Amino acid sequence: MVDAPASVSLQCYQYFPGVYAFWRTAMRIVGFDLAHLQSVYLAVLILNGLLVGSVLMRLIQSRSAAVFGVIWYWVLCSRFQGLEGIAEPIATVPFLFGLLCWGGRALVGARGVLRAVGLGVALGLTVYVRQQAGLLALGTVWLLLPAALRHRNPCSGKWTFLTGVPDWRVLLLLPLTASVMFGVALRAEGQGWEPLQIGLAHVGSYATRGDLIGNLYTIARTDESATLALFLCLGALAWRSRSQNLDGVEQPWREVVGFCAIAIVATLWQFRTRPYGHYALLAVPCLVIASVAVTSHVLLPHWASYGKRRQWLMGLVLAAVPLLVGSWRPGTLAIWRVIPDRQVTYRPLWHRQPDITRDLEQIRQIVPHGSSLLVLPPRHRSIHYLTGTRSSRHRGYGFRTRSLEELSWATFGWVVLLTAGLDETDLSIWGAEQIEDAVTALNQNGFREEVRLKTMLVFQRRADSTESSQSSIGQ
């Protein structure tokens, strides 16, 4: 059992405040024990899968296809770092509730108003949780496109309008309701506009890595089933639009697929400068919904008419595809490997390495609870949670120190310098030379070595030290 971490006040908000509101609520309900909090996050993943299945059930009326979609979603989550407690699945929960509320049905009349309001509220909460989740809201562009551009009779050559074309006054409710919901939630947070400003500034300060094409290729190789499904859907939709008469009859699945397709394309823009796999988790629910819906209505249009035994057999065959594709490649999910190797060996279980566990226990005994602590390399912010300390940063979170000269030495009283148990990412920016430089800088800026542990060094500010710096850690 880990003691409750010290209050961090405004030492947060690098993400939008919704994620912090979620975890504060979770901690009030289940406490601060890490296992309990992991169970909460697992419940979020389960809820996402069930919502994906519910949307599919409404669109295609096939239980076996919906079950396949649920299984596929969970597989993709495991492959795109979804088991690491990141914020994206939390953001997609309200988004999926919004899709379920709307269901692709016409936004006309009184019911259309209720659907628009429900979808708007969901989009507002989605953005409130994660800055980049705002890209999902761009799916509403599909609703704003003139109906004539989406439904043309190839026989007559005339444009025909979908029954119940969305009223522009109803469509205005989407951005209006989303903005109001976001503002109300931000007001409830009680910190004014500062969380919004911090979150936007933080996104802009991320380090760049790679380019759009290279990063997309990296993501595509993470799970080939998702890539194959994407191209399959595009091909099927192109074939359908050329070979079939779109007669103007309302078909909700087409509307949801169009919404999801634009949302998917929008979220891919994140990869123009960063190859982080977990960014794809914003698009995964949309990809699963669109792929299964297109497969059911275009490639297997008579699925619902099949017998139950045949439906379930086809569902099991389809479910085996994402489990088997790429399973021979190291670091991917196979039937016999629940979590990718790269995740098991380090990130989730980093603090459970015997040497690190013993050292963290000693730190809890040495460093007073609630003390301001600097962690080097700063990527390992979990140490604050595991030791009951608070960050030396004003806003708490950071994972990169570009220069030791950028540190504000007067803002913290303790330093933990990791010297072992580092992974490849750490060693690429924090090798033996950087550790030696850090020791020298600490000695020069009024710190003494308090204790030398097996995997880390602990420094404390000398009582007579008056050193101070001119700036803080750079992001």
**In the numeric block, which tokens belong to residue 38?**
């992991």
Q: Which of 385, 446, 395, 448 is nearest to 417 (CA)?
A: 448
pLDDT the model gives residue 112: 85
pTM: 0.73
pLDDT the model gives residue 289: 93
Q: Which of 250, 282, 247 is nearest to 264 (CA)?
A: 282
d(CA 289, CA 69): 7
State which H helix or E strand residue 415 sits in: strand 414-418
d(CA 380, CA 37): 18
d(CA 460, CA 442): 9
pLDDT the model gives residue 436: 84
Question: What order do you get walking across the sheet with 390-391 strand by strand?
Answer: 390-391, 372-376, 414-418, 456-461, 447-452
pLDDT the model gives residue 392: 66
- What are the average pLDDT values for consecutive 10-residue runs of the chain, which has 475 residues? 41 72 90 85 94 94 84 86 86 95 86 90 92 87 64 48 56 89 85 70 63 78 74 62 48 86 88 80 92 79 65 68 55 41 45 82 89 80 81 55 64 85 70 81 86 89 57 35
pLDDT the model gives residue 334: 41
Whether the upstream peptide bond of residue 377 has omega within 30° of 0, thus cis, is: yes
Number of residues that this document lists for the chain: 475
203 conformational bin, left if phi > 0, alpha if psi -120 to 50, beta if neither: alpha
Q: Which of 95, 124, 134, 83 is nearest to 285 (CA)?
A: 95
**235 near 175, Cβ under 8 Å?**
no
d(CA 310, CA 302): 12
pLDDT the model gives residue 474: 34
State which H helix or E strand residue 450 sits in: strand 447-452
